[in-house]
């Protein structure tokens, strides 16, 4: 089936509201890790010209290392690491020497757009943030639930060249529940943000819904079964709203909720399928909820923030890690 992809210059944008507010805090975390940051051949040649014009071909040979047989689609070379572990171009002030010399637009796509997470989907160009960035996590410590914005214009200055994910539910096989992906995603986000329940209760409701979906066998019944599931869940939320005493929440609850919403909006359910997504959601919940409860008791979200960054780096960041040592 031919893909009906949105025009990157004139498309609809769907994004979490924190995307438009993000500003790099120059903490250096993203540039001080073992990620394998790669460039395509055009980026390699562009930097080669830059360093040759500056009379520094020797540094270019040290900083940009061709991958050869290790290259994946679209890759040509990797950026070397310093012996200390940081990116070759990272200064002591957590600034990028390459950007200082040639400008932001000269950087590779990954470096230009991180921690923004661009996805090309059937309903438009979608953007979230990677919570492997501590500054993004700080933005999620807020009482207001994350909002999904739909707009004709981009929330950032220009579009990425490459999308991290391509999400087209209508191109799924007729017997795939993923053809209903956007309806499922929207409903699960509603559940995650239903603050008449505690966050553990909301996560259990989401997990129970995914377990039900896993039992469905007849694709002709998917639409009816999904509608019934949604009605049943909203009935449970209505019942919870009749509780006599209001629930108490705080920064730790808000942060954990926003993390799970961002995780779902990133299209992990679409990529992993309901079983794989459910397994990861259970594992994350088992780690995050105790930290959230501790943070509530101590009125300090620092450990919870650190855990979220670590989980994002371990499970959710779309990157390969550098196998070999530093240069």
What does the pLDDT read at residue 15? 95
Strands (E), 106-261: 116-121, 124-129, 148-151, 165-167
Q: How many residues belong to the chain? A: 327
Beta bridge partners of 120: 125, 166
CA distance 186 to 188: 6
CA distance 199 to 193: 8
The radius of gyration of the chain from alpha carbons, rounded to an integer in Å, stands at 22
Per-residue model confidence as pLDDT tens for the chain (327 residues): 344 444 444 579 999 999 988 888 888 888 887 777 888 888 899 999 999 999 999 999 999 999 888 777 778 888 998 887 788 888 888 888 888 888 877 888 778 888 888 999 999 999 999 999 999 999 999 999 999 999 988 888 766 667 888 999 999 999 999 999 999 999 999 999 999 999 999 999 999 999 999 999 999 999 999 999 999 999 999 998 887 676 778 999 999 999 999 999 999 999 999 999 999 999 999 999 999 999 999 999 999 999 999 998 877 654 555 544 434
Beta carbons within 10 angstroms of residue 155's beta carbon? 17
What does the pLDDT read at residue 199? 96
What does the pLDDT read at residue 244? 62
Question: Judging by DSSP bridges, how do beta strands 116-121 and 165-167 pair with one another?
Answer: parallel
Structure-token pair, residue 304: 């919870």
Strand order in the sheet with 124-129: 148-151, 13-16, 124-129, 116-121, 165-167
What does the pLDDT read at residue 122? 94
Helix (H) or strand (E) holding 101: helix 97-102
Decide: 82 and 88 in contact? Cβ < 8 Å: yes
CA distance 208 to 279: 12
Q: How is residue 81 annotated by DSSP?
A: B
Question: Judging by DSSP bridges, how do beta strands 13-16 and 124-129 pair with one another?
Answer: parallel
Helices 199-215/251-265 angle, 10° precision:
20
CA distance 3 to 325: 41
């Amino acid at each position: 089936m031919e893909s009906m992809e949105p025009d990157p210059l004139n498309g609809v944008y769907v994004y979490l509201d924190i995307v438009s507010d993000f500003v790099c805090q120059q903490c250096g975390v993203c540039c001080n890790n073992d990620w394998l940051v790669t460039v395509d051949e055009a980026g390699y040649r562009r930097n080669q010209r830059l360093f040759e014009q500056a009379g520094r071909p020797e540094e270019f040979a040290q900083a940009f290392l061709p991958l050869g047989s290790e290259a994946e689609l679209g890759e040509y070379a990797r950026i070397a690491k310093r012996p200390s572990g940081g990116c070759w171009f990272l200064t002591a002030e957590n600034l990028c020497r390459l950007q200082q010399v040639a400008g932001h637009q000269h950087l590779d796509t990954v470096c230009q757009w991180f921690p923004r997470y661009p996805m090309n989907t059937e309903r438009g160009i979608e953007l979230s943030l990677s919570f492997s960035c501590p500054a993004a996590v700080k933005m999620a410590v807020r009482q207001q639930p994350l909002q999904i914005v739909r707009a004709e214009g981009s929330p950032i200055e220009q579009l990425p060249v490459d999308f991290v994910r391509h999400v087209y539910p209508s191109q799924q096989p007729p017997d795939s529940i993923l053809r209903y992906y956007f309806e499922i995603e929207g409903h699960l986000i509603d559940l995650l943000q239903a603050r008449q329940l505690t966050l553990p209760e909301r996560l259990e409701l989401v997990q129970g819904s995914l377990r039900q979906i896993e039992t469905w066998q007849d694709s002709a019944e998917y639409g009816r079964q999904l509608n019934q599931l949604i009605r049943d869940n909203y009935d449970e939320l209505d019942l919870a709203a009749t509780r006599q005493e209001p629930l108490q929440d705080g920064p730790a609850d808000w942060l954990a909720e926003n993390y799970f919403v961002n995780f779902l909006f990133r299209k992990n359910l679409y990529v992993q399928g309901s079983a794989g997504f459910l397994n990861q959601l259970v594992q994350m919940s088992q780690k995050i909820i105790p930290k959230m409860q501790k943070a509530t008791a101590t009125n300090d979200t620092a450990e919870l923030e650190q855990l979220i960054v670590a989980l994002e780096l371990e499970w959710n960041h779309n990157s390969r890690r550098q196998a070999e040592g530093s240069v």
